[in-house]
Structure 1
Amino acid sequence: MFFVLSKIVWFLFSPVNFVILLAGLAALLAFSRFARPARWLGLFAVIMLGLMAFSPLPRAVIRPLEDRFPQQDAAKGPVTGIVVLGGAIGLARGDVVLNASASRMTKAVELARLHPQAKIVFAGGAANLISEATVTEADGAKRLMEGLGLEPGRLILEDKSRNTLENAVFTRRLVDPKPGERWLLVTSAWHMPRAMGVFRKAGFAVEAFPVDYWSRGKPDDFTQPYSRAPRALEIADNGFKEWVGLVAYRLAGYTDTLFPGP
C-alpha cells in the first residue's frame, strides 16, 4: 500500500509535475470567469519553473543531502560484500541502458576489482505501478557486470524490491550478514541518508559509500545558476523527492531519525 500511495502522491506533487499542472489549470481558467486569478496562477507557475530551471535552487536542495556522508577510500579493506542499490540501470531492446546515476554501477565494478574476495549484491526489481514488468533492474545488472568481467559466482541478485525499504529488508534476508563483517552500501550521495536510515532500521549494518554527486562541493554551489534547464529540473525533482521521502519514511517508522547521518 505504501508503495502504491507513494507513486501516486509523488506523481501529483513532484515540483516539476506540480507547476506544469498549475500552468495547465491556469490555461483552462483563462477562458472562464476566473481569468484574472488564472493570470496570477500562471505567473506563479512560470516563476517557480524558472527558479527550478535556472537558479541555484536545485544545488541548494541537493547539496546538504550529498554532504551528509563523507566519501571513502575505495581501496580501504577488507570488505565482505558490496550492496549496490538499483535506480541506474535497465534493459531496452535487449541491451543495457544506464541513466544519470550510472556511477552506481561503474563504481560497483571498480570496487569489485579492488576487493576480489567481496560479494557483489545488486538490489533492484521492477518499480512499475501500472504494468507488470517481465524484466527487472537485476537482469540489467547481471548482463552489465558479467559483461565487464565479474565472475558470475560473486554476483548475488535481489530482484523483488521496488523501493528503498524493500531494498534493505529483502537484501538482509538474502545475504544474512554476520557480526564483524564489513558491508559497503553504494548508492547516489543524495539518496544515501534515507538509504542508511532504512538499512540501519532493518538491522543491516552497512558503511556508506556515496557516489553520483550532482553538486560540485564548492562554495559557489549556493549562488551559481544553471544554464541547462533539463538538468536543473531533474536535480530539483530528485532533491525535493528525497527530502519528502525522509519525512515520509520517518513518519512511517521506516527510519529512526529524520535525517540519518554518520
Structure 2
Amino acid sequence: MLDTMFWLKKIISQLFMPVPLTVLLLLVAMVLLRNRKLVRSLLSLAIVLLVFLSSTPGSNLLSSPLENKYSVNSNTIPKGCLVMVLGSGHDESISGTAVQKLSSTALARLSEGIRQYNLGSDCKLVVSGWSGGEGTLSHAEVMAEAAIELGIDNERIIRFPLARDTIEEAEFLKWEIGNYPFRLVTSASHMPRSMAIFQNIGLAPQAAPTDFMTRQGRWWRLDAENLWSSQRAIHEYLGRLWFKIKYENDGTMNNASTPARESY
C-alpha cells in the first residue's frame, strides 16, 4: 500500500510539471479536433517532438555523441601552462559575489578551469566574454572576479572582454599566444565545435570538457532539464553545420598568421 501511494504521488505530481502538462493538453486538443486531419498531424508531431526531447533517452541520444568525443582531462601540465575558459553568461541583478552571479554553465566551466590550472605550475588563466550589450560589466571581468574569489591571483588572469562568441575567442587567443599549446575548457557538448574552431585557426588546444549533460534517469520522466539538454545539443549541431559551411569550406579563418610568444 505504501509503495502504491508513493508511486501514485510521483505520477500525479509529474502531471502538473510544465512538460507533462503541456503534453497532456496537446493530447486533449488532438482528441477534440479529431476530425481535422492537418491539425491532428501537426499536434501529433508536436507531441512526439516534445516527448522525445524532454525524455532522458531522447536528450541523451542527442547529447552523448557530442560529449563522448573528448574525455575528462586529468593529465598534469608542464610549467608555463595556459588554461582558457570559454564564457557562458552571468546575471548582474543577482546580489552577492561574482561566483553567485555566474550562470550554472559558466560556474561549471570556471571550476574545471581552476582544476586544470592547478594541474600545472606557473600557469595563466584566460577568461572571455563581452557584456552582451546590456550589462555594465563584461562577462570576462565577472569570470575574473569569480576566479579571484576562488583563489586565483589576479596577476595570473588574462581577460578578453570583447569576445562575443567562440570564433572571436579563438581569434583573440591567436593574437595573444600564436601557436602556443593550451588547455581549452568548455561544456562537453560544446567541445567538438570549439576544438574545430580553435584548430581551424591554427591553434593547438588540448580538450578539457566539463558540464556534462548526459545523465542516467527514468525513461518515463519528462522534464524541462532534459528539454534544456536537448536544446543545447541541437544548438551545437546547428552551430557545427554553420561553421562547416561558413569557414571550413572556404578556409577564411585559417589565413591569419601570428607569431607565438616564447612562454607563458
Instruction: Report the TM-score range of the alignment, normalised by the length of the smaller protein.
Output: 0.7 to 0.9
2:234 paired residue number: 240
What do residues 29-69 of structure 1 show as CA deviations (whole Å, max 9, x unaligned)? Answer: x99xx954223312321221111112511101110111112
Instruction: Say whether residues 1:150 and 2:152 are aligned partners.
Output: yes
1:99 paired residue number: 103
What amino acid is the match of 2:114? V
Instruction: Say whether residues 1:163 and 2:168 are aligned partners.
Output: no
Q: Structure 1: which 5+ residue stretches go unaligned? A: 1-19, 258-262
When Rg is computed on C-alpha atoms for both structures, the one with the higher figure is 2
Please give the residue correspondences for 1:28-47 in structure 2 after superposition, counting only pairs within 5 Å: 36-47=37-48
> Secondary structure of 2:238's match?
helix
Percent of residue pairs identical: 23
Describe the shift of the 1:148–1:255 C-alpha distance in structure 2 as closer, same or farther (beyond 3 A). farther
Distance 1:182 1:85 in 2: 16
> Secondary structure of 1:187's match?
strand
Instruction: Say whether residues 1:184 and 2:168 are aligned partners.
Output: no
Instruction: Say whether residues 1:112 and 2:117 are aligned partners.
Output: yes
Distance 1:55 1:154 in 2: 41
Distance 1:255 1:84 in 2: 27
Runs of 4+ residues deviating >6 angstroms: none
What amino acid is the match of 1:214? M
Do the aligned residues in 1 keep the contact of 2:80 with 2:121 (CA within 8 Å)?
Answer: no
Q: Structure 2: which 5+ residue stretches go unaligned? A: 1-21, 252-264
Please give the residue correspondences for 1:45-124 in structure 2 after superposition, counting only pairs within 5 Å: 45-78=46-79, 80-87=81-88, 89-95=90-96, 96=98, 97-101=101-105, 102-124=107-129
Describe the shift of the 1:182–1:253 C-alpha distance in structure 2 as closer, same or farther (beyond 3 A). closer
Task: Output the aligned Cα RMSD.
Answer: 2.9
Describe the shift of the 1:255–1:113 C-alpha distance in structure 2 as closer, same or farther (beyond 3 A). farther
Do the aligned residues in 2 keep the contact of 1:79 with 1:182 (CA within 8 Å)?
Answer: no
Distance 2:75 2:149 in 1: 22
Distance 1:73 1:134 in 2: 36
> Secondary structure of 2:92's match?
strand
What amino acid is the match of 1:205? A
Do the aligned residues in 2 keep the contact of 1:55 with 1:225 (CA within 8 Å)?
Answer: yes
1:7 paired residue number: none
Q: TM-score, normalised by structure 1?
A: 0.73
Q: TM-score, normalised by structure 2?
A: 0.73
Do the aligned residues in 1 keep the contact of 2:116 with 2:183 (CA within 8 Å)?
Answer: no
Do the aligned residues in 1 keep the contact of 2:183 with 2:206 (CA within 8 Å)?
Answer: yes
Q: CA deviation at 1:74?
A: 4.5
1:225 paired residue number: 219
Give the length in aligned residue pairs. Answer: 219
What amino acid is the match of 1:70? S
What amino acid is the match of 2:149? G
